[in-house]
Structure 1
Amino acid sequence: MDHKTFVASLDRAHLARLLSVSDGPGVRHLLGHIAMIIGGGVWIMQGWPMWQAVLVLQGVVISFLFTLEHEATHKTPFKTKLLNEWAGSVSGFLILQPFFWFRYFHLAHHRYTNIPGKDPELVTGYKPETRKDYYWYLTALPYWLGMARQIKRNAEGKRFRDYIPESARSKVVREGRVMLVLYTLCLVSLIFTDLLFWVWMLPTFLGMPFLRLYLLAEHGRCGFVANMFENTRTTYTTRFVRFIAWNMPYHVEHHTIPGVPFHKLPELHGSLKGHHVVTSDGYAAFAAEFHRETKPETKR
């Protein structure tokens, strides 16, 4: 059975319940995520014990706002449209990833998941195949450099990919220009105070490698086929990771029915039992397996 056959077999009332969207769960989850970021920032600025370790944890929690931005592209975390747009835009700003551009990039990824030549994550993304590439990928430097170039291109209105519709390009350009202005203001603020450096910039730089590993597990070493049961991985992990990742470790579930909001993915996971093809028992296990399967650099 492939994912399309599974969806067709679901009871219509059950499917409708899974697809229903509301504000309450998303608002509560967002408040919890924000509280963690504020708490980490206060800890760092107060210089409390082990504040250096909290820098990394703070960065992980901020970097994983990617998963909220990702959900907002589907308009599923909140029923209120404005909440989705603001949550996605702010999250994207904090991790240097323009939200409106990413929406179209990501929807194309869903349309052509893991299909070479069509999935933009494979066309423009960075998928390591050698040990050297793997280590370089985990630094997150390819991400930072790529997003900086993308924002610049968006602001200039140049070289739009086919997945950005003509009707959305002016909005993408405007977003890129606004982001450049805001980043400039943030850099100027460092002349007067180092607050943003310690609670946002440095932590996010330190935390982003953890997000890169998490993202690699979603489709890395999965089949280059159209069946979501084979081209996507669900990773079993801790409640903390599921929380900061907005339940996206249930990734087969998300790709099978993208319209299901994050807080209902555990229920969908229960319905999918017996159909999973690719899973991992935690991100450490995935990382170790991926490392074993990467090619050592050949000596010249």
Structure 2
Amino acid sequence: MSIDTAEEHIASENINKNERTSHPHDAVKGVPNRLPSSLIRELSALSPGKALFALFLEWLGIAAAIAAYVLTKNPFVYLFAVIFIGARQQALTVLGHDASHYRFLPNRFWNDWISNFFMQWPMFISTEGFRKYHGAHHRYLNDEKDGNRFLWKTHNQEGHLVEEWTYPKSKGQLAAKIIRRGLFFTGLRWIIRGLIGMFVIRGSLPSMLARILFYGAFASWFTMAGLWWEFLLLWIIPLCTWHIVTQYIRLIAEHSAVQSDVPGYQETRTTIPKVWEALFILPRNIGYHLEHHWYPSVPFYNLPALHKALMDTEEFPRSANISYSILRSLQEVVKK
């Protein structure tokens, strides 16, 4: 076990017991606006009922969209289903993102297993694999050990941003990137990478065997029931189109062309979406990104309260890059 992994294990056990406010994914360079420990401890308290109910609602929405298309066979209903299911797939990865921070369920065992079965494995990733890169992204944001440099290939070997992740861009360049990524092939590559990755980024042996059985069981069911076409139409196509579009929109908004004159505020943007944007693009408070980077111990349902607490300070509202629409965030990353 590496030193970082050992420290993460110890800290994750401590935050689950609410013994302290530190988190294994805290930024090593700290944050410029430290709220009282008592408040962070309160906001970091987990509510399993809220987490599980959110997961239930996402799967209920997926089931409803599938049923609507199956019952109508209407092409317009299908188009809506693709967008709606793709957005719910994004929501599953957001909930799985909380689990990667040990913030979905208090028990670490059930946190990871529930996350894998109902959030990550259906999306062809794993909680452990995502945590490996995302934890490093938090701890070393914009440093050479930032996990996004490996997961999203944002930088070249010299440590410079590659062209795709260099902003601002022209409107045409931004639109072309998002459209190109949403044309199925990026999503298909993600699926293949995820399936190969389970043999490369190994969790425990029981977890790897369970994941193989998970896919094998569903493959057998689809074969016996003749559901492969429906699986393609109602899971793979939403995943490889709208889900990918929302992932790239989110990523671009989070860290690109962030505007602030104050160090510590210059690396991450907060986007508070409109209601329809929250439903279709930025679900489950994932847009509160500066707040999340500063305090990864706070679960998704408490991020609005964390935002409010920070807005009550003198520095945060003056220095933070806050947008009140995802469309506005995208406008900020294009050339004026």
TM-score band by shorter chain is 0.7 to 0.9
Map Cα deviations across residues 66-98 of structure 1 (whole Å, 9 max, x no partner): 101111101212334454223421311222222
Q: Is the 8 A contact 1:108 1:119 kept in 2?
A: yes
| Residue 97 (structure 2) aligned to one of 50, 57, 70 | 70
Aligned residues between the structures: 280
Change (3 A) 1:138 1:277: farther
Aligned to 1:46: 71
Superposition misfits of 4+ residues, deviation over 6 angstroms: none
Aligned to 1:12: 37
Shift of residue 120, structure 1, vs aligned partner = 2.1
Percent identical among aligned pairs is 19
Aligned to 2:196: 152
Give the structure-1-normalised TM-score: 0.78
Map Cα deviations across residues 89-130 of structure 1 (whole Å, 9 max, x no partner): 131122222222111111111111122x32121234155246
Looking at structure 1, the residues matched to 185 and 321 of structure 2 have their Cα atoms a distance apart, in angstroms, of 28
Aligned to 1:277: 320
Change (3 A) 1:152 1:180: farther
Letter in 2 for 1:245: P
Looking at structure 2, the residues matched to 263 and 76 of structure 1 have their Cα atoms a distance apart, in angstroms, of 10
Aligned to 1:263: 301
Letter in 2 for 1:285: R
Looking at structure 1, the residues matched to 213 and 133 of structure 2 have their Cα atoms a distance apart, in angstroms, of 19
Q: Is the 8 A contact 1:45 1:198 kept in 2?
A: no
Change (3 A) 1:222 1:182: farther
The answer to whether the aligner puts 1:202 opposite 2:237 as a matched pair is yes
| Secondary structure in 1 matching 2:60 | helix
The answer to whether the aligner puts 1:85 opposite 2:117 as a matched pair is no
Shift of residue 190, structure 1, vs aligned partner = 7.5
Change (3 A) 1:172 1:233: farther
Give the structure-2-normalised TM-score: 0.71
Q: Is the 8 A contact 1:44 1:54 kept in 2?
A: no
Q: Is the 8 A contact 2:135 2:147 kept in 1?
A: no
The answer to whether the aligner puts 1:99 opposite 2:99 as a matched pair is no
Q: Which stretch has the larger CA shift, 35-44 or 240-249?
A: 240-249
Equivalences for 1:1-300 in 2 at 5 Å? 4-7=31-34, 10-47=35-72, 50-55=76-81, 56-89=83-116, 90-115=118-143, 117-127=144-154, 128=164, 129=166, 131=173, 133=177, 135-139=179-183, 141-155=185-199, 157=200, 168=203, 170=205, 174=209, 177-178=212-213, 181=216, 184-185=219-220, 188=223, 191=226, 194-208=229-243, 209-222=245-258, 228-242=264-278, 245-273=283-311, 274-275=315-316, 276-292=319-335
Gaps of 5+ in 2: 1-28, 155-163
Looking at structure 2, the residues matched to 214 and 182 of structure 1 have their Cα atoms a distance apart, in angstroms, of 33
Shift of residue 178, structure 1, vs aligned partner = 4.8
